[in-house]
Amino acid sequence: MPRNDNSFQGFLDAVRTISQEAEAEFAAPLAHLREIDQVFVDWLASAGKPKPPAAVVLIVNAHASFRAASFLALSGQLLAVFMTLRGALESALYANAIAADPQLGPVWFRRDQDEHARQRCREAFTIRKMFDSLAAVQGRPFADAVRDGYDSTIDFGAHPNSRSIVSSARLEAVGEARVLNFVYAHGPRSSELRRSLVACAEIGSLALLTSLAASPDHPQAAALVERAQASSGRLAEFIAALGLIDPPAGD
């Protein structure tokens, strides 16, 4: 959008243009994100068979969040990408915990019943307990990898910390005054946009694998896990196709 167009419509027009240009620019590497998405879609084809139902709903939400984060990345909205990716991981972690202990399903469903139910849900679904549950199912190394991914989303924008926000802010001298410029959306050829796409691939893969860990009874479980792991193994190719030689630190 024009530099002086700060209107809401101007913002909508700008991010729409950025996403269209980025999708055209990165048509080939975006096939990697489509691979991750397709595994989710194929899981959904038999989503009614895995139990318990609360875990199924949460995995669907993890998929929806992955898609939303991918669109936000394509439109250059860097900080919002990491907020949404964190949500994708949390949904997958909740699903895993409920699959490991089905008694947690009613606790989650009844959260808003009253204040006692709300507090019980808060205590049952602390992030520490979520990672302990994942470690019990998939082993500590995988749980630690997911924890590292989760922490990176916080570092890069899922929480309003100084590291993430200040990187999008600039103070510029205009005469004797100082003007604050804040980047609401990065351009289609910016390194920030490409790095956010890498984050979508990395965190999206972790959310997918965590979701599959919560679905051991899925009729296609083994094949889906194999495909998800193969896709994750091609991350370096995705990074190279985006013109980034090395993975961004912490993404």
Q: What is the separation of C-alpha 28 from the centre of its chain, rounded to a whole number of angstroms? A: 21
Q: Could you count the other beta carbons within 10 Å of the beta carbon of residue 235?
A: 15
Q: How many CB atoms lie within 10 A of CB 217?
A: 10
Count the Cβ atoms, other than its own, within 10 Å of residue 175: 6
Q: What are the tens digits of pLDDT across the range 103-126?
A: 999 999 999 999 999 999 999 999
Q: What is the pLDDT of residues 39-79, one digit of tens each?
A: 999 999 988 777 899 999 999 999 999 999 999 999 999 98
What is the Cα–Cα distance from 117 to 109, expressed in whole angstroms?
10
What is the average per-residue pLDDT within 223-237?
A: 96
pLDDT of residue 248: 46
Provide the residue count of the chain. Answer: 251
pLDDT over threshold 60, residue 92: yes
**Which whole number is the average pLDDT over 169-175?**
69
At 232, the amino acid letter reads: S
- The 3-state DSSP class for residue 45 equals coil
Give the pLDDT of residue 108: 97
Calculate what percentage of the chain has a pLDDT beyond 70.
92
